[in-house]
Amino acid sequence: MNTSDSLPPALAAVLGERFEAELCTAEKLEGSVCNSVWRLLTACGPLAVRIGGPSALQLGADRQSELAALRAAFPISPAVLLSDPVAGWLVTEWIPGRHWSQQEARDADNLRRVAVLFASLHARVLPAGVRRLTMRRTLADLAAEPDPVTESCLDALEAGAVVGLCHNDPHHRNLLVGDHSALRLVDWEYAGVGEVAVDLAEYANAHHLEDGEKALLLEAYRASGGRVSQIQFDAACQLCRLRTALWESAAAKKQS
């Protein structure tokens, strides 16, 4: 993980030459366990700069797939301006706006808006270059112990599952309310083509939605053309809780 308070010299040189970046204005923002994030002023306006650390790859990120997913999901995703998947550098447009609070993420109108966003994302033509993911494989990669309940949930999720482009980490800190109240999703490093019920379940779990709120989210998703059954949604919610616990345990070990 890059913990420096300045941009890597090689990246700074590229940014200065290509974008006429005002490097003295580079503002380091709150990042994540695995990445450093910057806001940088340029002659063309502000940019977002992400510097990925090696632990992200060890925890399931895929830089080449991330790049393909970002391009396929635009304009739900930010526009890519510069990338180096090997070095982990990613430069995108800066999206003006703000994040919702946890409470706003549970608001009924906002649940409907998120449902429309998910349905639009999941309906896109499956893009080339984006990795294929299944919850079964993800749990195996995270060393989940065999369990009859988990196996039953996996079977329920997979039965007739709709597959589409998924963000896989859709919580309020990765949602931005931009111009004209448009919703945009950032942080696509765990994106992939997989069971679309997982995005709905991850959002429900991340914001501790109650039963009525879950029902509203699923109903609005279906009304927008999405196809996820109640059984698949319930199974995905349970599996996502397990995935999160395993991922957080693995992340803690990487940071220790």
Q: pLDDT tens digits for 214-236?
A: 999 999 999 999 999 999 999 99
| Cα dihedral 118, 74, 49, 188 in deg (nearest 10) | 40
| pLDDT of 3 | 38
What was the pLDDT predicted at 178? 80
Q: Read off the pLDDT of residues 186-217 as tens digits, 9 standing for 90 and up.
A: 999 999 999 999 999 999 999 999 999 999 99
pTM over 0.85: yes
User: What pLDDT is attached to residue 1?
Assistant: 33
Token readout for 53 is: 């650390």
- Locate the domains of the chain by residue range: 9-92, 102-255
Flag residues of the chain having pLDDT under 70. Answer: 1-5, 31, 256
| 248 Cβ neighbours under 8 A, 6+ residues apart | none
Contacts 24+ apart (CB under 8 A), 15-23: 15/40, 15/42, 15/47, 15/49, 15/82, 15/91, 18/82, 19/43, 19/44, 19/47, 19/81, 19/82, 19/91, 20/44, 21/47
Residue 187 CB contacts under 8 Å (≥ 6 apart), including other chains: 32, 169, 174
**Look-up of token digits 């590229």:** 14
User: CA-CA distance, 24 to 31, in Å (whole number)?
Assistant: 19
For residues 174 and 169, give the distance between their C-alpha atoms in angstroms, rounded to a whole number: 8
DSSP for 17-83, please give it: HHH---GGG-EEE---SSEEEEEE--TT--EEEEEE-HHHHHTT--HHHHHHHHHHHTTTSPPEEEE
202 vs 156: CA distance, rounded Å: 17
The number of helices, as runs of H, and strands, as runs of E, in the chain is: 10, 9
Which one of 3.30.930.10, 3.40.640.10, 3.30.200.20, 3.40.50.2020 gives the CATH number of domain 9-92? 3.30.200.20
Beta bridge partners of 35: 52
The CA radius of gyration of the chain, in Å to the nearest whole number, is 18
**Partner residues linked to 183 by β-bridges:** 177
Per-residue confidence (pLDDT) for residue 256, from 0 to 100: 63
CATH topology of domain 102-255: Aminoglycoside 3'-phosphotransferase; Chain: A, domain 2 (3.90.1200)
